[in-house]
Structure 1
Amino acid sequence: MPSSSKTLAGTLTVLIGLLSHCGHVAHAYSSGAPSSACVTMLPIHGPIAQQVPSPYVVNVSSVEVLPSGTVTVTISGDDFKGFMVTAYSSDFAVGTMVPLNNQAKVVCNALSITHTGSALKPNVTFQWTAPGDMFEGTLINFKATIVKERVIFWTGILSAEPLVYVETSPDLPQSGGTSNSTTTNDPGSVLLPTATTTIAPGKTNQFPGHLASDTECGKSKACFHDCEAGKCTFIVSWDDDGDVIVMSMTYRVPDSNEHWVAVGFSKDQEMGDDSVTECIMHDGEVKVQQSYNDGMDNKYLDNKKAALSEQSGKLEDGLLHCTFHRKKSYPRDPLIFDLNNDYYLMVAVGEALNGIKIPHTFDVLPPVSDHRIDLQAMENVAGEEPPTNVLVQIHGALMIISWVMLMSIGITTAKYGKAMFPKINPFGVNIWFQIHRACLVTAAVLTVIAVLIMAVQCKGYCQIPLIAGEGKNHWPLHPVLGLLVLVLTVINPIMALFRPAPKAANRYLFTWSHWGVGVLAWILASLAIFIGLDLEKSHAPPEAMHAMVAWGIYHILFLVAMETLPRPLCKLYNTVSEITVQRGKVYNLERVHQDNLGCVSEDGNSVLALESVDLGDMTKQMKEEEERKAKKELTREEVKVQRAMLLFHYAAILIFTFTLLLVVYLYTPPLHSHADHW
C-alpha cells in the first residue's frame, strides 16, 4: 500500500476526527452535565469530590413558595466552570428549572439545571417553579454540584435554608384573578396561575408522591413492582376473577407534567410484539386504553377500549393510579394477547402531551420480569433490568475481534510489513501478504456473520428510534454505519480478486482504491463500535469507551512513531559509522601518497593497487547509499527498528482487544433502582 507522507497525513486526519467524535460522546461535559448525572449528580471526569468545606453558597430569594410559584436561585462564591442543581423534597426531584440567560440550560426533563459552557463564572442566577400539587408545609432543598476545575469539584451543596411550600401565606399574595402573573413582595419571585389541587381528607403534611410498597402483594393479590427498601416508583397488581383480570397500576410521577404508565405482556424479555395496556393523564383525567408494540414502535389499536371495562383513574398526592378489568381472551383482535397464557411483564413510563404518549427514552430500559408470569397465580415479582441478549453479545464480540484486532493488524502490516521479513515466504508468498490476507478475509467473514446475527435478532433491519434520550441522537447511526461497513467489507476482497499484475500500468488505481476502501471501512466500523458500546442494550460500562479511546490514541501515536522514530534512533549509529569511514579514507589516502613515493608493503606488493581496490568498494557503497537516500528507502538498521515496533504493535493490539472483550462481557451491570432516581 502507499506509504507517502500524504497517506500518513490523510490517515492521521481521519483518526483525529474519529477521536474527536468519540471524545464528544464520552466527555462532552464542557457543555453541561450529561443525562447519566441525573441520578448521582456526579461528574465522571475526575477523582472523588473535595472533602474540605465548599467555597460556594446557594441562596434562594424567598423562604416560602405558593403552588406553581417561582423563586430565584443564585450560586455565588469563587469562580467556577460547571454546575448542576436540582430541587429535592425528601428524596424526590420536584418542580421545574427555568434558565434566565445563556449560561444555563435545563436537563433531566427540566428537573435539573446545568451550565452551557466551561468559561469561569463568578455567579449564576436562575429560577425554579414549584409544582401545583404539593402538601402544605413541604420542605424543598436545592442541592448543587459545582465544578471549579475539571478535577476539583464539590457535591451535595445545600441551599442556605430550605424553601417551605405553602398554599396561602401572609407574606405571599395568592395567585389568581385576571392577570397572567402576579409579582410578590419579593422582586425575585413571580407567581404563576395555580392549578386546582384536591387534597384527600385526613391527609397531613407529608412529602409528595411517596409510593410505599404494598404489604398485600403476594398475599391477597399478585404484584409486579420495582420497590426497594419500602419505596417504589411503580406497582402493578392484579387478581384473577373468572373471565377477567382485575388490574391496578400506580406510578409516582416525578413532576407536575402529564405522564403515562403502561404494562406490556411479552413473549420474551425485549420490546417488540407486545400487548400493552396503558394509563395516561389528560386534562385532569386518567384514561385507560390498549396499544401494541410493533418492533420499537408503539401503535394504538383500532379499538383502544377493546377487552377493557370498569375503568377508573385519578392523580392524587403525586401518584398516578388506575384500575380496570381486562378480559383474558379477546379473539376478535390477535394483538390483544390471551392472558390465560404466561407472559413476561414489563413496565414503561413517560410524559404525555394532550393525551398522547411521548415515547419513553431508551437510555434506561424498562424493567422486565425475570420469568414468564402466570396471571392466575399469586406472585410478588420485582422488575429487573432486561438481560443482555446473547445474540447482541456475539455480534459485539465478532465486530470487536474483526475491526479492533484483525483489521488493525492487517492494515498496518500492509503498510509497514513488506520490508520487515523479506526472507520469510511460506507457500511461496511473502509473510506480510499472508498476514494481511488472512486478517482481512477473516474480518470480512466475521463481519458478515455479525450482521446476519443482528438481522435474525431484529427480524430484518435493526431500526433504533430517533427519540433516544438526551445526548443519544447518534444512536440511530449504528445500524446505518454497520450496513456501510458490510458493503465495503464485501467489495474490498472482490476488488483484490481482479487486481492487475504488480508491474501493470494501471496497478496504482487498484492500490489506492483498495487502500481507500479498507481504511474507510475501518474508520466507519470504529465509529459503529463506539456507538454500539454506548447503546443501552450492550450493557457496556464507561470503561469500555475509555478502552476504545485509548485504542484510537494508540494508533495515532503508532503511525507517527513508525514514520518518524526509526531514523532518529539510527542517527547516532549512522553518524558513528560515517566518522569511521572518513577515518578509513584518510588512512588510505596517506598510504596512496606513500606508494607514489616508492613505498611498498612488507610482502613487496604495491600498496596503491591494494588501496585502489578498497577505495573502489567504498565508492560503490557510497553510491548505493546515495541512491537509497534518493529513493527514501530505509537502511538495514531502520528496518530492524521498524520490525521491532511492528511486533510490539501486534502485541499491543491483542492486549487492547482482549481487554475490551473482558471489560464488556465480564462486567455485570448494576440494576437501575427506579425507586431511587429522584
Structure 2
Amino acid sequence: MYREQFVFILLLAYSFQPILALPGGAPQSVCHSLLPFHGGGIPPSSSRPPYRIVPHNVAVNQGQVLRVEIEPQFPELNFGGFMIQARNIRPPYQVIGRFAPPPDNQAQLIDCGGFDNTATHTSPAPKSGISFQWQAPSDFLGEIVFNATVAQEYAKFWVGIESPVINVVSRNVPILPSYNNGGATTRRPPFKQSVPNYIPTSNDQYEEQTDPIYEGCGQTKICFGFPDGCVNSKSCRTIATSIVRGERYEFEIKSAPGENPAYVAVALSSDDKMGDDSVMECVPEAGQIRAYASWTLPRPNLGVTRQGIPQKFIRLLDASYIDGVIYCRISRDARSTIYGKEFNLINTQYHLLVASGSSLKQNSVGYHDIGRLASGSPSYLADVAVFGGASKLFLRLHAAFMITAWIGTASAGILLARYFKQTWVGSQLCGKDQWFAWHRMFMILTWGLTIAAFVLIFIELGAWSAEDNPHAILGTITTIICFLQPIGTLFRPAPTSNKRPIFNWLHWLGGNIAHILAIVTIFFAVKLAKAELPSWFDWILVAFVAFHVIVHLVLSIFSWIQICGCVSERSAQRVNNFPMADMSPSRSSMKERKLDAPFSGLRKIILTIYILIVIIFVVVLVLIAVFAPIEEAIKSL
C-alpha cells in the first residue's frame, strides 16, 4: 500500500518538474537516430519508458489514414518534446508514409527522406498526450512500426519507443475493427519495451547518417555504383553490392531518393560494354518489387530481353519500394547457363554493370536513361573491394573537342569571313590576306577536332547510340557537312569565273548550317545519360548563343550604316556595301579594296572582346563536360 502511494507521489513530482525540450522541435539531422543532443550529449534514459505509442488499429489499407497517439502510462504524467515516424520493419528501415498537421498546433512536420513523414513538437509546453492522423503509402505493402523519442524533461528522455506492428494491406482488403477501434482507450495492448529497428551510431545529432547499404563496402562485400566514385562519398544514384554466402551469391541493388526509377539492374559481363550480359532486374509492379533474370542482346541490336531466360537461378530474398526508392536483395546460384553461355561466379572474373532507367517495355526494361556504369576491370566476386568505373577518356575527349570546335574555332572563323574582309587591307600572313589566313586556320582546327571527336565516340560506344535522342543523328549530319567543306574548296572557281557566286553561296550555306546544327546538337547532349551534364549547362549555352547573336547584330549595324550613306562619300568608295557582297564579286569591287573600311578600329576591338569571351565560354563548358558530373567533382575537392 505504502509502496504504491510512494510511486504515485514520485510520478506526480515528476509531472511538475520544468520541461525544457528543444524549443523549436527536433531538427532533420536526427532523422535517422531520433537521438536528441541535449546538454552537449546527455545520454537517453535506459529505464522503462513511462510513455507508449498507441495506433488505433493493427492494419491499414494502402493510402488510407490511421490514427496514432503518444500518451503517458499514468494520467498525472506529462511530456514536453517528442519526435515520431513510421518505419518499415525490414532493412533498410525507411521512414514511410506522411502525417497530417494536428489542428491544435502542438506539432510540426519535417521531411526525413520523404514529405511530411515525421512529426515533432513546436514548443516544450507540457502535454498530456497528442494524437496524429498518419496516411499509409499507396505503393507499399508490409509491416511497419511507429518509432518515437519522448522527452519528459530536458535531461530525461527515451529513444526508440516502439508501437505494436501495423500491417499495411492492399486497398481491396477489408479492415476489421481492432483494439481501440478509434474510440475509448481502455482496451489497449499491454505495454512492453522492445528493441527499435535502428541502432544509433553516435551521440552527436549533427553527424550525418548514411544508408545502411554502404556498411561493409570494401570490407565484407563488393560495392559498385554510379556516378563513378560515389561509394566512397556514399552518394550513389544507383548502387549494387555482392557478398558470397557458400555456393550462392547475394546481390543488393538500390536507387537513391529522388531518382524515382522504373527499374534498377546489375549485370555480369565479360567486358565493359553492353551486350551478351546476364542481368538481374528489380522492377516495381503493383506496389511490390519483382526480380527478373534477363539478357542484353549483342551489338548492333542492343536491348534487353527476358524471353527464353531461366528464372530459377535467382531468388528474391528481400525488397521494398518506398517513396520511389527501389531496394532488393537477390540470391544467385554460383553456376548458371544462359543461351549456351556458362556463368561461373567462382572461377571467372566479371565486370559489373549497374544501370537504372525511367521506362519499361513489355517483358523487359527500357533504356538506362537515368544512368549506367561499367566497372573498369574484371574481378572475382569473392574479392572484396570497391569497384571503380571504366575509363571515360574517349567520351570526355569527344565532348571537349566538339565544344572547342563549334563554340570556339568555328564561331570565330565564321565571324572573320563575314565581317573582316576589308580589315587589315594590305597586310598578309603566309601570302594570304589576314582575314583569310585566320579564317582558314580556325576552320582547319574545326575540321580536325570534329573528325577526331567523331572517331573517338565510335571507338567508345562500338556501335550506334541506343539512346532515344537526336544528338547522334544531328552530330553525324554536322560531321558530314564539316568533312565536305574543305573538299569543296579544292574545286573553287577563279574569282572572275561566273561560277564563283554559286560556290560562294554553297560554301556559306554549308558552313552556317553545320554551325547551327552543331550548337543544337550540343544542346541535345545535355539530355544524354552518358554525358552526365547538369541541366543548367543549357543556360550557359543560351548565354553563348545570345552573345554570339548580339555581336553579329552590332557588326551588321555597321554595315547597314555604310549602306545608308551615313559615312562620307570618300569612305563609301572604299567599302563593300554589305558583308555578303563578295558572294557575287565584280571587277569594280575588287579595285575598291585598297584601304580598310570605316569602323575597322572598332571592329578590331569587338573581335578581340569576342574572342576573349568565347575562350571563357569554351573553357567553362569543357571543364563541366570533362569533370561531369560536376556536382560530384566539386564535392570531392
What is the TM-score normalised by the length of structure 1?
0.54
Confirm whether residue 67 of structure 1 aligns to residue 67 of structure 2: no
Output the amino acid matched with 1:212.
Answer: P
Confirm whether residue 418 of structure 1 aligns to residue 438 of structure 2: no
Contact 2:523 2:538 (C-alpha < 8 Å) held by counterparts: yes
Query: Aligned runs of 1:427-506 on 2, under 5 Å?
Result: 427-464=430-467, 466=468, 476-506=469-499
- Equivalent of 1:333 in 340, 343, 348: 340
Contact 1:239 1:246 (C-alpha < 8 Å) held by counterparts: yes
Contact 1:264 1:345 (C-alpha < 8 Å) held by counterparts: yes
Q: Which residue of 2 aligns with 1:374?
A: 380
Output the amino acid matched with 2:269.
Answer: S
Confirm whether residue 548 of structure 1 aligns to residue 548 of structure 2: no
SS of equivalent residue, structure 1 residue 224: strand
Within 1, Cα distance between the matches of 2:86 and 2:64?
A: 15
Q: Which has the higher contact order (CA 8 A, sep 6+)?
A: 1
Q: Which residue of 1 aligns with 2:525?
A: 532
| Shift in alpha-carbon separation, 1:89–1:412, aligned structure 2, 3 A | farther
- Equivalent of 1:324 in 320, 332, 340: 332
Contact 1:544 1:664 (C-alpha < 8 Å) held by counterparts: no
Q: Which residue of 2 aligns with 1:342?
A: 349
Aligned-pair identity (%): 20
| Shift in alpha-carbon separation, 1:422–1:516, aligned structure 2, 3 A | same
Output the amino acid matched with 2:394.
Answer: L
Contact 1:489 1:521 (C-alpha < 8 Å) held by counterparts: yes
Output the amino acid matched with 1:135.
Answer: I
Within 1, Cα distance between the matches of 2:363 and 2:317?
A: 16
| Shift in alpha-carbon separation, 1:258–1:537, aligned structure 2, 3 A | closer
Query: Across the two proteins, how many residue pairs are aligned to each other?
Result: 454
Per-residue CA deviations over 1:123-172 (Å, capped at 9, x if unaligned) read xxxx9953343514379xxxxxxxxxxxxxxxxxxxxxxxx999599xxx
Q: Which residue of 2 aligns with 1:521?
A: 514
Per-residue CA deviations over 1:452-492 (Å, capped at 9, x if unaligned) read 2212222232332x2xxxxxxxxx11111111101211232
- Equivalent of 1:292 in 282, 296, 302: 296
SS of equivalent residue, structure 1 residue 322: strand
Contact 2:409 2:443 (C-alpha < 8 Å) held by counterparts: yes
Contact 2:375 2:390 (C-alpha < 8 Å) held by counterparts: no
Q: Offset of 1:214 from its aligned partner?
A: 8.4
Structure (1 or 2) with the greater helix fraction: 1
Within 2, Cα distance between the matches of 1:499 and 1:481?
A: 27
Q: Which residue of 1 aligns with 2:600?
A: 639
Contact 2:293 2:314 (C-alpha < 8 Å) held by counterparts: no
| Shift in alpha-carbon separation, 1:215–1:439, aligned structure 2, 3 A | closer
| Shift in alpha-carbon separation, 1:231–1:409, aligned structure 2, 3 A | closer
Within 1, Cα distance between the matches of 2:548 and 2:473?
A: 25
Output the amino acid matched with 1:249.
Answer: F
Output the amino acid matched with 2:396.
Answer: Q
SS of equivalent residue, structure 2 residue 495: coil
Within 1, Cα distance between the matches of 2:86 and 2:486?
A: 59
Within 1, Cα distance between the matches of 2:145 and 2:602?
A: 77
SS of equivalent residue, structure 2 residue 371: coil
Q: Offset of 1:623 from its aligned partner?
A: 5.8
Within 1, Cα distance between the matches of 2:361 and 2:578?
A: 71
Q: Which runs of 5+ in 2 are unaligned?
A: 1-55, 66-84, 99-113, 117-134, 149-162, 176-181, 183-192, 199-209, 226-230, 580-594
Q: Offset of 1:447 from its aligned partner?
A: 1.3
Within 1, Cα distance between the matches of 2:477 and 2:216?
A: 54
Q: Offset of 1:424 from its aligned partner?
A: 1.3
Query: Aligned runs of 1:115-194 on 2, under 5 Å?
Result: 130=138, 131-133=140-142, 135-137=144-146, 176=173
Within 2, Cα distance between the matches of 1:508 and 1:133?
A: 76
| Shift in alpha-carbon separation, 1:557–1:290, aligned structure 2, 3 A | closer
Contact 1:566 1:638 (C-alpha < 8 Å) held by counterparts: no
Confirm whether residue 648 of structure 1 aligns to residue 609 of structure 2: yes
Q: Offset of 1:520 from its aligned partner?
A: 0.8
| Shift in alpha-carbon separation, 1:112–1:557, aligned structure 2, 3 A | farther
Confirm whether residue 249 of structure 1 aligns to residue 210 of structure 2: no
Output the amino acid matched with 2:546.
Answer: I
Q: Offset of 1:205 from its aligned partner?
A: 7.4
Q: Which residue of 2 aligns with 1:58?
A: none
Within 2, Cα distance between the matches of 1:339 and 1:486?
A: 47
Q: Which residue of 1 aligns with 2:408?
A: 405
Q: Offset of 1:503 from its aligned partner?
A: 3.0
Output the amino acid matched with 2:447.
Answer: A
- Equivalent of 1:359 in 355, 360, 366: 366
Per-residue CA deviations over 1:266-306 (Å, capped at 9, x if unaligned) read 34445445332345566868555342354594433664128
Q: Offset of 1:450 from its aligned partner?
A: 1.4
Per-residue CA deviations over 1:15-62 (Å, capped at 9, x if unaligned) read xxxxxxxxxxxxxxxxxxxxxxxxxxxxxxxxxxxxxxxxxxxxxxxx
SS of equivalent residue, structure 2 residue 144: coil
- Equivalent of 1:304 in 305, 309, 329: 309
Q: Which residue of 1 aligns with 2:189?
A: none
| Shift in alpha-carbon separation, 1:405–1:236, aligned structure 2, 3 A | closer
What is the TM-score normalised by the length of structure 2?
0.57
Q: Offset of 1:522 from its aligned partner?
A: 0.3
Within 2, Cα distance between the matches of 1:463 and 1:448?
A: 21
| Shift in alpha-carbon separation, 1:95–1:424, aligned structure 2, 3 A | farther
Within 1, Cα distance between the matches of 2:341 and 2:361?
A: 29
SS of equivalent residue, structure 2 residue 425: coil
Output the amino acid matched with 2:504.
Answer: T
Q: Which residue of 2 aligns with 1:224?
A: 223
Contact 1:261 1:349 (C-alpha < 8 Å) held by counterparts: yes
Within 1, Cα distance between the matches of 2:115 and 2:367?
A: 18
| Shift in alpha-carbon separation, 1:509–1:335, aligned structure 2, 3 A | farther
Q: Offset of 1:644 from its aligned partner?
A: 2.8
Within 1, Cα distance between the matches of 2:383 and 2:196?
A: 35
Per-residue CA deviations over 1:328-352 (Å, capped at 9, x if unaligned) read 6x49723757752222223345689
Per-residue CA deviations over 1:614-656 (Å, capped at 9, x if unaligned) read xxxxxxxx76467569957998542222233223333333333
Output the amino acid matched with 1:433.
Answer: F
Contact 1:224 1:236 (C-alpha < 8 Å) held by counterparts: yes
Q: Which runs of 5+ in 1 are unaligned?
A: 1-62, 72-86, 97-110, 114-126, 140-163, 179-184, 186-201, 467-475, 575-621, 673-678
Confirm whether residue 396 of structure 1 aligns to residue 399 of structure 2: yes
| Shift in alpha-carbon separation, 1:646–1:566, aligned structure 2, 3 A | farther
Q: Offset of 1:394 from its aligned partner?
A: 1.6
| Shift in alpha-carbon separation, 1:231–1:136, aligned structure 2, 3 A | farther
